[in-house]
Structure 1
């Protein structure tokens, strides 16, 4: 059994064939000082500040595939071969050897985000690194969690959660993925009372709906608020703003010339702005006014902190120009998002309620995970797959109610997802039943016969990207 740094037993914390490496804050900081690097110190300081401001205890989890025979540099510059663990009883502690540039690469991660490896080795194994507000840094390498195995289970999982008719077929792969991404960290997460986890993921994993992973009893969303970062250094973590202190602008259209219509989109935007947000204190620009020009002019008049777009967004394979956000009269390509001027000054949150991303596709995932960076927004909430209008409206109404009473954006999304999961939001005929009352839906939705919105298809695809706080 690997001893915890404080001397406690950590039996059961690491699955078979998993290497455990403990933390040493003093050595981390000494190394940072010696190399002129303050990345780790800055990360710890920011996480600690967020905890002070929100009372929500955050952690970062890096999940990358590494060569199975990789070695890690020790403090004296020597290389230490990783221990291969055969059984739980065969665990061994490898004092924190994940140092120097290798650690810096993980903590920045932007090079791997912008310049992914062209050749992917199916035999690479999963490595987890977690950083917490208390300065704890731990690493696990899972020798049996190869890229081919993890990606195969991830594909099964995504097929299950995106198909309501598949019932609970997603549960088995959801439990496997929980076992590799979170089970090794459980003891540390519980010990430090972590409530929010930001994942920085490798190629192919950035559109994984982490919220729907399952520990055998609960979904992840019932335990933690979770989100995605391209890297910490590419994330705008400037001054914290309480979500309820933002002005809101909601935009959308129900009909598009070359796209599938979204019958409830205008209703969604109008409802959020005129009824839910601060007792009707939001503004709405709908249908013919849903243009880039109107957005820019509106922001010049008021410092909106939250922009809601009830529209199509598509993140595709190929050049970034193929991915886009749809406005009424035009598509704005991913590589042209700066036209929206959302970073001048940066808005706190951009919400895209009807976007989709090709799972496992590098280009598509780069677009989705890079949304906050490309748009200039601090945070983006978007859907990984298209969800029908009624389900989307149910989650979005809950999101904006929760944003007014929760200290972080990720926590608000978590509460909105839980409301669908637990049946607190559901469809009854032509009405959407929410925690605040009933909403009359467009007539065509009464014929769909939908009622139960608890399946992960309806809620787990919505993800926060960028700054989750």
Structure 2
């Protein structure tokens, strides 16, 4: 799905997968439950890293017309069958902690064999959120950019203020292996095990969990069939109800526009997080 020359083949396979997984369900919904607007999937290992939003329910090769499942329903994934009831963000005062990183401390790159590339638009992404604060009185944004995004400062903000949304514009990797699951702060790589430590006081002291974790400008572990469990693991350790993350390498310039549109939708009355996405 990342290479244009594969698009036609992908669409044909996406239509076949739609027919296997969704076609009969969709016919039942259209006949009996037309009010349903969101599909929640609890998937096994081989399907977890397939973006089900891109399943095709109508494809005319001759005309090039393509209709995707996301055109018809909001799509969400659940790591297991028991699905917590989500809280609605609209109508509430939104406290957002936005942390982003163009480049880590040079010493981090020296210590770490991964050699993290520069995220040129990470700060622009955080600026999008700060601009929201200027035009919407319900939005309050705490911004930690570059060398302000250090582990202790991040931990202090998390544990002392009740945030509904945590937005991270930084490198991250989400694998079934705890050793390969992390998010990057200015001063260190925060491993999945350390994520729990960062959020421990927050989980104990705040009345409500963080409603939404947005992991932006990140990528999953390439080829790891259980990578979405890594994303879920970060979310669970952070004590959040929902998480949004990319299944593959993300162009951080595009993520600026994505961020702007996502939060515009989140602030509209009556939309769930899945519908906003």
What's the TM-score once normalised by structure 2's chain length? 0.82
* Partner of residue 269 from structure 1, selected from 123, 126, 129: 126
The aligned residue for residue 282 of structure 1 is: 141
Once superposed, which parts of structure 1, at least 4 consecutive aligned residues long, lie more than 4 Å away? none
Deviations 1:367-408 (A, max 9, x none): 124332232111111111111112111111100111000431
Deviations 1:402-452 (A, max 9, x none): 100043111111xxxxxxxxxxxxxxxxxxxxxxxxxxxxxxxxxxxxxxx
Map 1:30-429 → 2, pairs under 5 A: 161-190=1-30, 191-193=32-34, 194-216=36-58, 217-233=66-82, 235-237=83-85, 240-243=87-90, 245=92, 246-256=94-104, 257=106, 258=109, 259-275=116-132, 278=136, 281-316=140-175, 319-341=177-199, 343-344=203-204, 345=206, 346-358=209-221, 361-405=224-268, 406-413=270-277
CA contact (8 A) 1:274 1:283 kept: no
The aligned residue for residue 143 of structure 1 is: none
Q: Which moved more, 1:332-341 or 1:264-273?
A: 332-341
More contact order relative to length (CA 8 Å, sep ≥ 6): 2
RMSD after superposition: 2.2
Deviations 1:311-347 (A, max 9, x none): 0111236x31221111111111123321231544320
Q: Which moved more, 1:395-404 or 1:325-334?
A: 325-334
Larger Rg computed on CA atoms = 1
Q: By how many angstroms is 1:362 displaced? A: 4.1
Deviations 1:88-135 (A, max 9, x none): xxxxxxxxxxxxxxxxxxxxxxxxxxxxxxxxxxxxxxxxxxxxxxxx
Count of aligned positions: 250
- Structure 1 segments unaligned to the other structure (5+ residues): 1-160, 414-469
If each structure's helix is expressed as a fraction of its own residues, which one has the higher value?
2
C-alpha distance 392-244 of structure 1, shift in aligned 2 (>3 A)? farther
Deviations 1:187-219 (A, max 9, x none): 222221211111100012112101111111411
The aligned residue for residue 63 of structure 2 is: none
- Structure 2 segments unaligned to the other structure (5+ residues): 59-65, 110-115
CA contact (8 A) 1:324 1:331 kept: yes
